[in-house]
Structure formats: structure tokens, C-alpha cells
Structure 1
Amino acid sequence: MIPIDGAFVLEIAPRFSGAKAQRQAEIVAAIGDHLTSVLDSYDINTRLRIAHFMGQVTHECAGFRTTEEFASGAAYEGREDLGNIHRGDGKRYKGRGLIQLTGRANYRRIGGKLNLPLEDDPEVAGEPLTSLRIACEYWKDRKINDPCDDDDLIEVTRRVNGGRNGLEDRRNFYRKAKTALSRRMGIILASQQTSSLPVIRRGSFGDVVERLQRGLVAKGFPISIDSDFGPATEFAVRQFQARNGLTVDGIVGAQTWGALEG
């Protein structure tokens, strides 16, 4: 489990001022202490899955400054495909959530999964912690972890919004999330390090990478020995970690070194 919190969110989200900053602070404060446990309960718990989730959600909720669609929802009036069959349903069941839940039928369905009365009291969907869980339910429904594991930003985006809307914005937030996660993992692994060997990851190079590559080859992974920790080496490390019941993050710290050379 990778520990993330409100400070992590603010490393990724854009900065605002005035009322926008105040609302962002309220949302982040409400979800921060629950972020790790909620995401983990939906298996959004690897570096790639968390980074993609944060990239998408940060775009969808306008940088964590809203849990509710800015528009009135009138455009959804009479949309039977959304279950809006009563007068006023469009506005009543407007988009809410970090990934927006829209329409009476969807409020009823997700409310049932979360054991919340969202159809009877739709404004509950805008509460920050509930809005996070709504986003996770959407993620689970669309099986978005699968393209995350392939690091396929375009497919992740397509499953979130049906196309490529805001792709560059999502890409930028995704990259910021990866950077923030790498920094956090480096600190965690360094604090846990008991091996005399350093923590290395993709982008590392030199004799210690050559040592890693020779160890992987000896374990049956046919990679080049070039002292450069590139994508092929990272892939082999992830496979090795998976086979040995380790955290699959592509980062070689004390536990991975121990399993490789023990």
C-alpha cells in the first residue's frame, strides 16, 4: 500500500486563490486522511494506477475545487436514457462526484452499491468523501485499472470520458502524480533500506545497474546488460517482484535486492 494524503493531492492540483482556493482546501481536507484506504479498497494501489487515477480525477473535478457540475443540469431534463423521467430530474440529478455521476438511474445504481440514499437525497453525492467513492465506483465499473497497468493514457481517458477530451491536461496531471509518487516511494524505501546497495529505479545507470541486470539474467530474465535501467529492465524487475510476492513497483530496494541476491 502506497500512503497518500491531502499533501500529495496538492502536489498535483493547480493552485487557486480566493473562494476557489478555500473550496479546494475544504475538499482536500475532507478526503486526505481517507485517500489511501479508499483507493486501496478498489485496488487502485500501484504507482501506475494511482498516477492515472489522480491525472483523470484532477481534471474531472477542476483541480479539486468542485464536487458538482458547474452547469445547472437543465440539459439533462427529459433524458430517459439517464432515468430522468420526472420534471426537474435534470437539475436534481446533475453531475456530482470527483468523476461526475449524472441522472436519476445512475444515482439509484451507485447509491445501492455505496448503501447511500443518493436517489432520495442527491446532494449527498457532492459530499467530498462520497464524491471520492463515486469516482472509485466509476473506475471499477469501467475496469480502468486494466489500461493503467499497460500505462495506456489514451485508453484510460477514453474509458473515463468516452474520447480524448482534455487529454493534455490529464497527461500533465498524470506526470505530476508520477513524480510525486516517485519522490514519496524514494523516501519510504530509503527509510526502510537495510541493504548496503542503493535504491535504484528506471533512469538509474552504472555498476549497480549492471549488477541488477546480471542478477536478473541469472534468474532467467533475458535482458541486455548495459548498465542502463531502461524500460526492459523495469519490466523484468516488475516480473521478478510479482513472482516473488513483492510490491510490484519496478523500484529495486532492500527487499528486491534481498530476494534477488539472497
Structure 2
Amino acid sequence: MIPVDGDFILSVAPRFSGAKAEAQMRIVGQISAIFAPTLASYQINTRLRIAHFMGQVTHECAGFRTTEEFASGAAYEGRSDLGNDQVGDGKRFKGRGLIQLTGRANYRQYGKKLNLSLEDDPNIAADPAISLKIACEYWRTRKINAVADLDDLIRATKLVNGGTNGLDDRRKYLQKAKRALAAIEGIRIAFNEGEKAVIVRRGSFGEKVGDLQRMLVDKGYAIGIDNDFGAGTEGAVMDFQKRNGLKVDGIVGKATWDKLGAKS
């Protein structure tokens, strides 16, 4: 499993300031720890597949700063092709998700696939973690992995968008993702087939990092708990690894989690 996380996402996505930056950090922070295992569970697990996924998704969700369409959705009112057959369906089933789910029919379809009540409660599609699953499920349903394997940006874009809107933007993010993945290729961690352990390392952030920091504090390490894997946390991890006969690399994978006593 390639250890892609919030740090990786931000190395590909554009950077913002003010409220836009806060929105981006909220979304990325909530999916940082689950990003790699979620992608892996959908076989988005090679450099090309992850790079193409990032190229498409980064454009679709405006650089990870929204999981909901900016427009009201009124333009979809009465769209029978989207299954909007009740008054108010346009706004109710507006685009949500990292790859935007639009229309009652699609909410119903993906709700069944994911065992979620998306049709009854469409707003949950905007939850960052669920948004990620929706995007991955869409990716699998449209068989985009096979296109990514061929490194075919145009075909992948058509499968996601229906056309080639934003092609230059998608190409830019694809190239950034390829460079970022090449840079972290050297710290890949091998897991037994079927394992979905979360990997965190310097630059990671989010709730899983906070869990790690609390465990280290419980072990007697004097570090802050701020959900941000910085130099202090890395130093504590490396010391813990050394004291417990683990590989001293500062990367928290399954072996380190197990020694810390994390529940699977």
C-alpha cells in the first residue's frame, strides 16, 4: 500500500488562504488517515491509478475545498434523466462528493452500493469520508482503473466528466501527483494481502495522528497533541521504535501500531 495521506493530497492540490484554506484543511484532515486504505480497498493501488484518481478528483472538488456543488442545484429541477421526479429534487439532490453525485437516481444507486441512505438523507454525501467512498465507488463502477493503467488522461476525463471540460487542469494535477508519488515511492511499506493498516508519517495530520500522539504520551513521551505529525512526534516514534526492536524509520505502520497497543 502506497502511504498517501493528507500531506500527499496537499502536495497535489492548489493552496488557498482564508476561508478557502480552512475549508480545504477541514476536508483533507478528515480523510488523511483513511485515504490510502480506502483507495487500496478499491484497487486504486498503483502509482498510475492513484495519480489519475488525484488528477480527476482534485479538479472535481475544486482543490479539496468543497464536497458540495457551489450552485444551488435548481438547474436540475425536473430532470427526468437524473431521476428528479419530485418537486424540489433539483436542490435536494444537487452535486455532492469528491466526484459529484447528482440527481435522485444516482443517490439511490450509490446509496445501495455503499449501503447508505443517500436518497433519504442526501446531505450525508457531502461528509468528507463518505465523499471519498462515493468517488472510489464511481471510479470502480466506470472501470477507470483500466484506463489509468494505459495512462489515458482523455479517456479518464470523459468517463468522469462526460466530456473534456477542465482537461488542462486535470493534466496539471495528474503530473503533480506523478511527481509526488515518485518522491514517496522509497517509503512504501509492505503489508500482507487484505490488511488495511493506516500509515502515518511526518507531514501527516488528522485524527489518526492525534490518536498516535495520545498513545505516545501514555508511553511517557512529552509531546503535544495537535493532530500534526511534526518533528517532535517523529522523534518520539523513532525512539519508541528503537526501544521496541522495530525498524527505526519514523513511519507508523502495522508493526508500530501493534507495539503501541492500537486496536485493529
- Same-fold status (TM-score > 0.5): yes
Please show how residues 56-205 of structure 1 align to structure 2 within 5 Å. 56-188=56-188
| Distance in 1 separating the partners of 2:85 and 2:155 | 32
What's the secondary structure of 2:175's corresponding residue? helix
| Distance in 1 separating the partners of 2:188 and 2:25 | 26
| Distance in 1 separating the partners of 2:112 and 2:152 | 31
Deviations 1:108-162 (A, max 9, x none): 1101111111001000000000000110111111100011000111111111101
Matched to 1:140, the amino acid is: R
Deviation (angstroms), 1:188: 4.1
Deviations 1:220-258 (A, max 9, x none): xxxxxxxxxxxxxxxxxxxxxxxxxxxxxxxxxxxxxxx
What's the secondary structure of 2:147's corresponding residue? helix
| Distance in 1 separating the partners of 2:160 and 2:137 | 12
Deviation (angstroms), 1:81: 1.1
TM-align CA RMSD: 0.9
Deviation (angstroms), 1:91: 0.1
Higher relative contact order (CA 8 A, sep 6+): 2
Matched to 1:184, the amino acid is: I
Matched to 1:107, the amino acid is: Y
| Distance in 2 separating the partners of 1:137 and 1:158 | 17
What's the secondary structure of 2:45's corresponding residue? coil
| Distance in 2 separating the partners of 1:187 and 1:124 | 35
What's the secondary structure of 1:33's corresponding residue? helix
| Distance in 2 separating the partners of 1:188 and 1:148 | 20
Deviation (angstroms), 1:187: 4.2
| Distance in 2 separating the partners of 1:131 and 1:188 | 26
Matched to 1:35, the amino acid is: F
What's the secondary structure of 2:170's corresponding residue? helix
| Distance in 2 separating the partners of 1:107 and 1:140 | 16
Partner of 1:260: none
| Distance in 2 separating the partners of 1:156 and 1:188 | 26
Whether the 8 Å contact between 2:76 and 2:94 is mirrored in structure 1 is: yes
| Distance in 2 separating the partners of 1:54 and 1:37 | 15
| Distance in 2 separating the partners of 1:22 and 1:148 | 31
Deviation (angstroms), 1:186: 2.8
Deviation (angstroms), 1:183: 0.3
Partner of 1:43: 43
| Distance in 1 separating the partners of 2:162 and 2:188 | 37
Partner of 2:194: none
Matched to 2:186, the amino acid is: G
Normalised by the size of structure 2, how large is the TM-score? 0.71
| Distance in 1 separating the partners of 2:78 and 2:163 | 24
Task: In structure 2, list runs of 5 or more residues that go unmatched.
Answer: 190-264
What's the secondary structure of 1:65's corresponding residue? coil
Equivalenced residue count is 189
Deviations 1:31-61 (A, max 9, x none): 0100011101110000000000001000000
Normalised by the size of structure 1, how large is the TM-score? 0.71
Whether the 8 Å contact between 2:2 and 2:188 is mirrored in structure 1 is: no
Deviation (angstroms), 1:164: 1.0
Matched to 2:126, the amino acid is: G
| Distance in 1 separating the partners of 2:15 and 2:83 | 37
| Distance in 1 separating the partners of 2:132 and 2:60 | 12
| Distance in 1 separating the partners of 2:134 and 2:15 | 24
Q: Highest CA radius of gyration, 1 or 2?
A: 1
